[in-house]
């Protein structure tokens, strides 16, 4: 029984959705040889091998037998490696066959110029090789097109079937539709399935004559396909019969009408439209039109997608130049229940565009399993932004968001709201006037009311009575260093009317209540203490934490300060040590001021002055107090580096410099060198660039008494990639400097990134401070969306051979120290943090949108530019220009390091677009594309 007749019977039992989820156009082949492992996709992933006129296959005439055999073997092997599971081979084109059958004259490609004897049969070779890999082979024939008119008279002398059976249309010769031609095409199809055991016969360009004749030809086409099916069944084959419809014409409605007639008469088993649109909207619309036709008859459908038009954009056209566009189209197909994709012509993937070879392995990576997030929106009326129903603001507008049923009208104070997204998300900027503002949202019988108060006009008392000390208010909340003899202000917040005593070691004072408020309400308690005795000179003493004891209503409550208090004796040197992964050194004691450089964990420096939140360093600049530890005792942090060693590995070179302390180091990367400035350093060895692949010279300069510079100058032919340094040893006394080689693409076409490692950081923040999306607590938050994109990107890159590490694989919160330590240890060639953006809650979120690539090191601006362009090509969404921004998370100097802010989750339009599955894939594609472009 014909395979698709079997499917018709199955439809009586199973639903069509189950039918169309079947793996391929026919059952899987018999088992492969023992030990062979083939991962078969759930969809048809095919390539079209066009022949003769296009010179797609073979690549030249007059191949020797051995050359043809090697060519076929390598081609099929390569297709298998990149995930192709089906081959459509154009066996007959322009009245010539690219194989040996009696029904049609063989091609001149199969002969030598001097010897007309049969040579190697390429179709036989393709079928044999495909069977070894579990691949299907379908034969594509064009039984009606003879060729251009110049060949007719010569051919008529040799082949009787041409006499009186030819007509000319648009300077091309075709067979006239008649019984002889029908029999000729049917005999040819029968011979193919009997001799080569192919899985099916597919006709192309069978729509003869001018368009006005199309409707008149329906009976002929129905009869022709029926002839072919009968002949195939006569040799007891279950090979299918399909038809290719060229949708690039403006007359696609006529082609769809032809397909409909053939399906109504059960003349074909599968429909294959050739779709050339490359924009998502145009492609998806065309596919839907075709799918409506085939779904009526439970017939599978696959599409032919034009690789050349995607990969070869010109100034005159607007086609995409994205390597992953074919994959996007395959995903759209899969999401709609369409069986698969045929890439139109093998040559456009392999021979014409060299950079395309570096991403072939990503084709059809569309069944990636990422975290199963529920993207569905609850279509009940909810005003999400205002959780309590009450807002106090001094702004003139408050932006309110929510969800509703998109199929029903939504009203605000009895006026219809128009800007509701198709999935039910809405956002509106509400004007805030004086006094009380009441806004009532209504949809059907559902209501939600919020009240907005203008601050300064209406006072609302939120104060509540307390019964203990508020721990966060005890001084110091972070460790502080005070000079001996200076007055210390001790303070905390406790219930009004209580008694509070502060104790520092043996010193105690009773604090006085500063605020006159009702008993039990929070009040500030303060006291003053001077410690100048028992503090040794030239030393810094750790006095520990301050204890606060409160008595109230007969009960005692004790709380300790979060930070320690250090007292510096007379003429003591004060020093600090970085205890975070990395810390900025600012030009002013203000986080908004420009940063001068970063200090890494273990680095030390002297303190010459301080403010409430910053220490001023001897080497210049200001560092935040919560980024460092105070060094107690008599600190001597000058470094003496005395010796060094070098070592190499496949990914880079290392210089180890041994010393006694961790000098404060400032680094700078230029076009041809990397400069290290060592502060508080007494000695530094000369480093000789022996056994180095990167440097032509290493220069040591003494800047002043305790400052040195090492300048590593690259060879002229070296493309600097990145560097890293870290302190090591029990006291961080030694220094390891690592210079990374630029990674190279693998010579394996299917695995171009085999030598490349990528670290992806799906940014996560505590959910309390997560980037607010349009859904607030009711929808996906930034951390979840970031992770989903990262997982998809990981799968894409791994398909190309890359080694990929993620900073997290779940929604556990990670701090900068954990993220950056993991990134450094991975020794990655690329660092990419995936995040999203937002704006303040009282701003109109509809007016801010677009993705932005950020970089904090000018050396990585090139990669930021490449990723920005890749996002423009891949996603179709608005992409802002890359910006330089100081961010600790990007301070990975050993490789290009950027943060992709993938749009504004606070904008309902953008949030809706970001959550589309195809959008997630396209963002991942943009990242993978940028990495390839950076290395090509």
Q: How is 616-630 classified by DSSP, letter by letter?
A: EETTSSEEEGGGEEE
Q: Which two tokens stand for residue 546?
A: 């301050």
Using 50, 70 and 90 to split pLDDT, how confident is the model at 5? very low
Using 50, 70 and 90 to split pLDDT, how confident is the model at 334? confident
Long-range contacts (CB closer than 8 Å, 24 or more residues apart) made by 647-651: 648/691, 648/693, 651/740, 651/741, 651/743, 651/827, 651/829
Q: Which two tokens stand for residue 771?
A: 């980037």
932, 355 in Cβ contact below 8 A? yes
Mean pLDDT, residues 888-908 taken together: 82
Is pTM beyond 0.85 here? no
Q: List beta partners, residue 392.
A: 453
The confidence score (pLDDT) of residue 481 equals 94
Mean pLDDT, residues 685-702 taken together: 93
What are the two backbone dihedrals, phi and then psi, of residue 260, each rounded to the nearest 5 degrees? -60, -40
Q: How far apart are CA 273 and CA 264, in angstroms?
A: 17
Using 50, 70 and 90 to split pLDDT, how confident is the model at 625? very high
Q: Which of 20-34, 330-344, 767-781 has the highest mean pLDDT?
A: 330-344
919, 788 in Cβ contact below 8 A? no
Out of 37-41, 95-99, 564-568, 788-792, which region has the weakest mean confidence (pLDDT)? 37-41
Res. 4: pLDDT tops 60: no
The number of CA neighbours under 13 Å toward the Cβ of 695 is: 26
Mean pLDDT, residues 353-380 taken together: 55
Cβ contacts of 353 within 8 Å, gap of 6 or more:
311, 312
Residue linked to tokens 């910053």: 614
pLDDT digit string, tens, across residues 560-582: 998 999 999 999 999 999 988 88
What are the two backbone dihedrals, phi and then psi, of residue 605, each rounded to the nearest 5 degrees? -165, 160
Per-residue CA distances from 174 to 226, 762, 784 (Å): 21, 59, 59
Per-residue CA distances from 300 to 147, 486, 549 (Å): 32, 85, 79
Mean pLDDT, residues 245-260 taken together: 80
Q: How far apart are CA 497 and CA 80, in angstroms?
A: 82
Per-residue CA distances from 740 to 305, 396, 579, 665, 699 (Å): 41, 53, 26, 19, 19
The confidence score (pLDDT) of residue 778 equals 56
Long-range contacts (CB closer than 8 Å, 24 or more residues apart) made by 263-267: 263/293, 263/294, 263/296, 263/297, 263/299, 264/297, 265/222, 265/226, 267/221, 267/222, 267/225, 267/226, 267/229, 267/241
Angle at 11 between CA 366 and CA 47, to 5 degrees: 35
40, 83 in Cβ contact below 8 A? no
Residue linked to tokens 């044999």: 128
Mean pLDDT over all residues of the chain? 81
pLDDT digit string, tens, across residues 46-97: 999 888 655 567 777 777 788 888 888 988 988 887 788 999 999 988 778 8
Res. 15: pLDDT tops 80: no
Q: How far apart are CA 722 and CA 669, in angstroms?
A: 8
* CA-closest candidate to residue 152, choices 197, 95, 207: 95
The confidence score (pLDDT) of residue 6 equals 33
pLDDT digit string, tens, across residues 426-478: 888 888 876 678 888 999 999 888 877 776 543 333 368 889 998 888 999 88
* CA-closest candidate to residue 204, choices 293, 107, 273: 273
The confidence score (pLDDT) of residue 211 equals 44
563, 545 in Cβ contact below 8 A? yes
Using 50, 70 and 90 to split pLDDT, how confident is the model at 356? very low
3-state secondary structure of 633: strand
302, 26 in Cβ contact below 8 A? no
The number of CA neighbours under 13 Å toward the Cβ of 80 is: 20
pLDDT digit string, tens, across residues 378-400: 788 888 654 445 566 777 777 77
E strand or H helix at 193, and its extent? Answer: helix 179-196
Res. 2: pLDDT tops 60: no
Cβ contacts of 421 within 8 Å, gap of 6 or more:
406, 908, 909, 912
Q: How far apart are CA 383 and CA 377, in angstroms?
A: 13
Res. 352: pLDDT tops 80: no
How many of the other CB atoms lie within 10 Å of CB of 357? 18
Q: List beta partners, residue 558.
A: 549
Per-residue CA distances from 24 to 37, 137, 311 (Å): 18, 12, 27
Using 50, 70 and 90 to split pLDDT, how confident is the model at 21? very low
The confidence score (pLDDT) of residue 306 equals 77
Mean pLDDT, residues 97-112 taken together: 79
Res. 31: pLDDT tops 90: no
DSSP state for residue 329 in the 8-state scheme: H
Please report the beta strands in 384-445, taking only residues with DSSP state E, as ranges in sequence order.
Answer: 390-393, 397-403, 410-412, 415-417, 425-431, 436-443
Q: pLDDT above 70 covers what percent of the chain?
A: 80
Q: How far apart are CA 151 and CA 130, in angstroms?
A: 35
* CA-closest candidate to residue 424, choices 920, 931, 908, 918: 908
The confidence score (pLDDT) of residue 898 equals 94
Res. 207: pLDDT tops 70: no
The confidence score (pLDDT) of residue 151 equals 65
Q: How far apart are CA 119 and CA 443, in angstroms?
A: 76
pLDDT digit string, tens, across residues 709-758: 999 999 999 988 989 999 999 889 999 999 999 999 887 766 888 899 99
Q: How far apart are CA 842 and CA 396, in angstroms?
A: 8
Q: pLDDT above 90 covers what percent of the chain?
A: 39
283, 327 in Cβ contact below 8 A? no
Tell me the torsion sign for CA atoms 290, 296, 297, 298. Answer: positive
Specify the higher pLDDT residue, 635 or 368: 635
The confidence score (pLDDT) of residue 7 equals 32
* CA-closest candidate to residue 132, choices 201, 214, 34: 34
The confidence score (pLDDT) of residue 322 equals 66
Mean pLDDT, residues 602-621 taken together: 94
Q: Which of 282-296, 363-377, 543-557, 802-816 has the highest mean pLDDT?
A: 543-557
Annotate 18-50 with b (16+ C-beta within 10 A) or e (fewer). ebbebebbbeebeeeeeeeeeeebebbbbbbbb
Res. 118: pLDDT tops 80: no
Size (the chain), residues: 936
Using 50, 70 and 90 to split pLDDT, how confident is the model at 631? very high
Q: How far apart are CA 922 and CA 915, in angstroms?
A: 11
DSSP state for residue 852 in the 8-state scheme: E
Using 50, 70 and 90 to split pLDDT, how confident is the model at 20? very low
Mean pLDDT, residues 168-191 taken together: 84
């Amino acid at each position: 029984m014909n395979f698709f007749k079997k499917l018709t019977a199955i439809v009586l039992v199973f639903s069509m959705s189950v039918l169309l989820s079947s793996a391929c156009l026919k059952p899987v082949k018999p088992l492969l040889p023992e030990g062979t492992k083939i991962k078969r996709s759930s969809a048809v992933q095919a390539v079209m091998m066009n022949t003769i006129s296009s010179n797609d296959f073979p690549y030249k005439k007059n191949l020797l037998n051995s050359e043809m055999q090697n060519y076929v073997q390598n081609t099929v092997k390569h297709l298998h490696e990149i995930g192709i599971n089906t081959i459509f081979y154009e066996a007959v084109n322009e009245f010539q066959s690219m194989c040996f059958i009696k029904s049609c004259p063989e091609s001149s490609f199969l002969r030598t110029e001097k010897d007309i004897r049969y040579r190697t049969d390429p179709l036989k070779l393709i079928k044999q090789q495909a069977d070894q890999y579990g691949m299907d082979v379908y034969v594509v024939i064009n039984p009606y097109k003879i060729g251009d008119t110049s060949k007719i008279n010569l051919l008529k002398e040799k082949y009787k079937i041409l006499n009186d059976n030819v007509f000319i249309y648009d300077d091309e010769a075709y067979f006239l539709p008649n019984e002889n031609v029908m029999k000729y095409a049917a005999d040819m199809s029968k011979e193919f399935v009997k001799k080569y055991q192919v899985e099916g016969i597919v006709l192309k360009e069978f729509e003869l004559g001018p368009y006005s004749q199309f409707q008149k030809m329906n009976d002929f086409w129905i009869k022709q396909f029926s002839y072919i099916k009968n002949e195939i069944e006569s040799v007891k084959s279950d090979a299918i019969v399909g038809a290719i419809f060229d949708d690039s014409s403006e007359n696609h409605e006529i082609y769809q009408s032809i397909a409909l007639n053939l399906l109504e008469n059960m003349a074909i088993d599968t429909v294959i439209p050739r779709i050339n649109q490359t924009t998502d909207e145009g492609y998806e619309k065309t596919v839907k039109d075709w799918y409506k036709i085939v779904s009526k008859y439970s017939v599978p459908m696959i599409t032919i997608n034009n690789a050349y038009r995607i990969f070869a954009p010109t100034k005159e056209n607007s086609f995409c130049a994205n390597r992953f566009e074919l994959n996007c189209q395959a995903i759209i197909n899969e999401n709609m229940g369409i069986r698969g994709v045929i890439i139109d012509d093998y040559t456009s993937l392999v021979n014409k565009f060299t950079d395309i070879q570096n991403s072939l392995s990503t084709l059809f990576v569309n069944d990636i399993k990422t975290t199963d997030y529920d993207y569905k929106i609850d279509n009940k009326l909810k005003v999400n932004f205002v959780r309590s129903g009450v807002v106090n603001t001094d702004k003139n507008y408050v932006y309110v968001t929510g969800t509703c049923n998109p199929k029903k009208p939504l009203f605000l104070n009895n006026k219809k709201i128009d800007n509701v997204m198709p999935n039910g998300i809405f956002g509106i900027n509400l004007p805030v006037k004086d006094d009380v503002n009441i806004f009532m949202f209504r949809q059907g019988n559902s209501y939600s009311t919020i009240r907005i108060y203008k601050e300064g006009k209406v006072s609302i008392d939120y104060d509540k009575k307390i019964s203990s000390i508020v721990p966060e208010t005890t001084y110091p909340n972070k460790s502080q260093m005070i000079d001996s003899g200076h007055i210390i202000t001790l303070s905390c917040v406790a219930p009004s009317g209580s008694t509070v005593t502060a104790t520092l070691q043996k010193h105690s004072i009773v604090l006085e209540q500063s605020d006159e408020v009702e008993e039990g309400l929070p009040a500030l308690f303060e006291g003053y203490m001077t410690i100048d005795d028992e503090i040794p000179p030239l030393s810094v003493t750790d006095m520990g934490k301050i204890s606060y004891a409160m008595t109230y209503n007969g009960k005692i409550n004790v709380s300790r300060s979060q930070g320690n208090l250090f007292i510096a004796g007379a003429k003591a040197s004060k020093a600090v040590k970085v205890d975070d992964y990395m810390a900025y050194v600012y030009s002013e004691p203000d986080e908004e001021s420009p940063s001068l450089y970063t200090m890494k964990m273990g680095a030390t420096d002297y303190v010459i002055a301080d403010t409430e939140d910053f220490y001023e360093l001897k080497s210049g600049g200001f560092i935040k107090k919560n980024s460092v530890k105070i060094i107690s005792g008599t600190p001597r942090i000058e470094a003496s580096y005395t010796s060094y060693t070098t070592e190499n590995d496949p990914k880079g070179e290392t210089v180890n410099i041994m010393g006694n302390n961790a000098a404060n180091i400032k680094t700078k990367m230029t076009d041809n060198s990397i400069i290290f400035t060592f502060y508080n350093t007494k000695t530094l060895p000369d480093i000789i660039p022996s056994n180095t692949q990167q440097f032509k010279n290493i220069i040591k300069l003494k800047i002043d008494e305790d400052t040195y510079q090492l300048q590593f100058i690259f060879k002229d032919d070296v493309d600097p990639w990145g560097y890293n340094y870290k302190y090591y040893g029990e006291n961080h006394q030694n220094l390891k400097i690592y210079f990374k080689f630029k990674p190279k693409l693998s010579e394996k076409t299917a695995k171009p990134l085999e030598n490349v490692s990528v670290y992806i950081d799906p940014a996560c923040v505590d959910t309390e401070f997560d980037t607010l999306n349009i859904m607030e607590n009711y929808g996906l938050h930034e951390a979840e969306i970031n992770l989903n994109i990262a997982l998809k990107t990981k799968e894409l890159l791994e398909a190309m051979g890359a080694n990929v590490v993620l900073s997290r694989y779940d929604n556990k919160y990670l701090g900068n120290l954990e993220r950056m330590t993991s990134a450094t240890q991975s020794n990655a060639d690329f660092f990419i943090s995936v995040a999203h953006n937002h704006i303040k809650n009282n701003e109109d979120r509809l007016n801010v949108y677009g993705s932005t690539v950020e970089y904090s090191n000018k050396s990585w601006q090139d990669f930021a530019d490449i990723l920005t362009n890749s996002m423009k090509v891949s996603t179709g969404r608005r992409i802002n220009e890359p910006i330089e921004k100081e961010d600790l998370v990007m301070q990975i100097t050993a490789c290009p390091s950027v943060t992709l802010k993938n749009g504004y989750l606070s904008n309902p339009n953008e949030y809706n677009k970001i959550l589309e599955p195809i959008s997630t894939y396209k963002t991942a594609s943009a990242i993978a594309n940028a990495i390839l472009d950076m290395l090509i």
